[in-house]
Amino acid sequence: MKEEIKKLLELQKLDNIKDDIKDRLCELPQLIEEEDNKKKKFKKNIEDFKEALKNIKVKLKEKEIELQKNEETVKKNKEKLNTLKSNEAYKSMQKEIKSVENKIDRVESEIIEIYEEIDNTEEKIEEEKKLLDSEKENIEKKKESYRGDIEKMKRNLSEVKEKIRPLEESIDPELIKEYKKLREVRKGIAVAKADGTSCSGCHIHLRPQTINEVIQEEKMVRCDGCSRYLYMED
């Protein structure tokens, strides 16, 4: 295999490793943020339920006052009942008492429902707290592992850069320029194997002359389809 091709292939391998490391380094802080968001979500749920509970308790207070007022009304009206002279007034008062008593029944059922709502909401708060507690450790472990990965990736990145630099310096700068341009537009692959009679990069059929030139190794040969540098295994 031609010396420049060997070098470019090695460079391409290292550049691809470098790109993978960089991708991972972009991704890891996002993963840490996702873990933080999980925790925030539990806390937000707990806060929302607490807020709901507060509102329910305000509603309960209102209903209790309403109940008390109605009970007082019934008591007063019952006292009045005995002082009434006319039959008509008596009946009318009885009717009014009945109506307020019905209202009392309704308010009492509403209060029972509110107590159930309070129980349910308190249960939900406890559930969320338990979930948060059980997930907390897990979340911290993951974050710790991601932070470890970041440190590792940073070390790997400088190691691979240390290998890339001398290799690049040993290759013709014009060739490096072309190689880099190709990698940009060809998904990181600037050097492709001539696979039998086709280019492994773009899969077009190579002309016999092109294949011959690759075998002869006298010059750098490029694919007619994708312009990638071509090589054959020794």
Interface with Zn ion (CB under 5 A): 199, 201-202, 223, 225-226
Q: Of the two residues 201 and 221, which places its CB atom closer to Zn ion in the complex?
A: 201
**Nearest-approach distance from CB 165 to Zn ion, in angstroms:** 29
Give the closest residue to 132 by CA, choosing from 122, 143, 140: 140
Q: Of the two residues 18 and 222, which places its CB atom closer to Zn ion in the complex?
A: 222
Q: Of the two residues 28 and 190, which places its CB atom closer to Zn ion in the complex?
A: 190
Q: Alpha-carbon distance 90 to 80, whole Å?
A: 9
Q: Of the two residues 18 and 228, which places its CB atom closer to Zn ion in the complex?
A: 228
**Nearest-approach distance from CB 39 to Zn ion, in angstroms:** 49
Q: Of the two residues 139 and 220, which places its CB atom closer to Zn ion in the complex?
A: 220
Q: Alpha-carbon distance 49 to 128, whole Å?
A: 9
**Nearest-approach distance from CB 186 to Zn ion, in angstroms:** 9
Q: Of the two residues 153 and 220, which places its CB atom closer to Zn ion in the complex?
A: 220
**Nearest-approach distance from CB 211 to Zn ion, in angstroms:** 13
Lookup result for tokens 């708060």: 125
Residue 8: how many other CB atoms lie within 10 Å: 24
**Nearest-approach distance from CB 226 to Zn ion, in angstroms:** 3
Q: Alpha-carbon distance 233 to 217, whole Å?
A: 12
The helix (H) or strand (E) run that includes residue 229 is: strand 229-231
Give the closest residue to 157 by CA, choosing from 169, 147, 168, 165: 165
**Nearest-approach distance from CB 200 to Zn ion, in angstroms:** 8
With H, G, I as helix, E, B as strand and everything else as coil, classify residue 107: helix
What is the strand order of the sheet 229-231 is part of? 198-199, 191-195, 229-231
